[in-house]
Amino acid sequence: DIVMTQSPDSLAVSLGERATINCKSSQSLLYSSNNKNYLAWYQQKPGQPPKLLISWASTRESGVPDRFSGSGSGTDFTLTISSLQAEDVAVYYCQQYYSFVNSFGQGTKLEIK
Amino acid sequence: QVQLVESGGGVVQPGRSLGLSCAASGFTFSNYGMHWVRQAPGKGLEWVASISSDGSSKNYADSVKGRLTISRDNSKNTLYLQMNSLRADDTAVYYCVKDFGGPYDYWGQGTLVTVSS
């Protein structure tokens, strides 16, 4: 099974500053036939189900602010929030859907410094 | 609009069984793969099981294989999770999730299952 490892486990960033969350997979998520990375990012706020932010490693979902961006390929991926807003406080998860047995990272808790 | 409404959660004793349902609306249910994802109290997300759009293909996490069974009834727009031989570590909020060819675009609000004597 594919293991997803996020870093750091928690992160405190000042308002307006950049936040960076990393995600590493135990095997490549790049499917050679279509050159797509099977990696998504989700945001979960307290008491709510997760919300899809980014799919295919870098495709921002409709309605997601453009301060959120995803990058990376193969086994190493990054979620970047370019200018942290108060409403971005949440837990962020990466997820692979390359394998039929999907899996999530352990989550990164993002707080305001 | 897309709605996924889970039901069937509750308190159950270890070793007993429980069945969850997820009523789907607002999209053509029979066209999409579906999943169950769970979250233990204060913990992260754990993918549990998936089923293809026609129900012919199913996959399970190792932690639930042989005990939990995913199924669907496309005529009723409903997803199911039958849980047998429940253990304390199955205690979690169970989310019904729709995928669109990979990523999960819609999640239900979840139903809490508590396994306790």
Q: pLDDT tens digit string along A47-90? A: 999 999 999 999 999 999 999 999 999 999 999 999 999 999 99
Q: Does A108 touch chain B (CB under 8 A)?
A: no
User: What pLDDT, on a 0 to 100 scale, did the predictor assign at position B100?
Assistant: 87
Over residues B13-24, mean pLDDT: 98
Q: Which amino acid is at A41?
A: W
- Between the two ends of chain A, the Cα-to-Cα distance in Å is 36
**Residues contacting B23, CB < 8 A, separation 6+:** B3, B4, B5, B7, B77, B78
Distance from CA of A54 to the nearest CA of B (A): 9
Q: CA-based angle A91:A97:A102, to the nearest 5? A: 75
- Taking a C-beta distance cutoff of 8 angstroms, is the pair A61, A68 a contact? no
In angstroms, what separates the C-alpha of B77 from chain A's closest C-alpha?
21
Residue B71 confidence (pLDDT) above 90: yes
Strand partners, A54: A41, A60
Q: Which residue numbers of B have CB closer than 8 Å to A's CBs? A: 35, 37, 44-47, 50, 57, 59-62, 95, 99, 102-105, 107-110
Region for residue B34 given its phi and psi (left: phi exceeds 0; alpha: psi -120 to 50; beta: otherwise)? beta
Contacts of A30 in chain B (CB under 8 A): none
Q: In this structure, what token pair is assigned to residue B29?
A: 């249910």
Facing residues of B22 across strands? B6, B79
Residue B10 burial (CB count, 10 A): 11
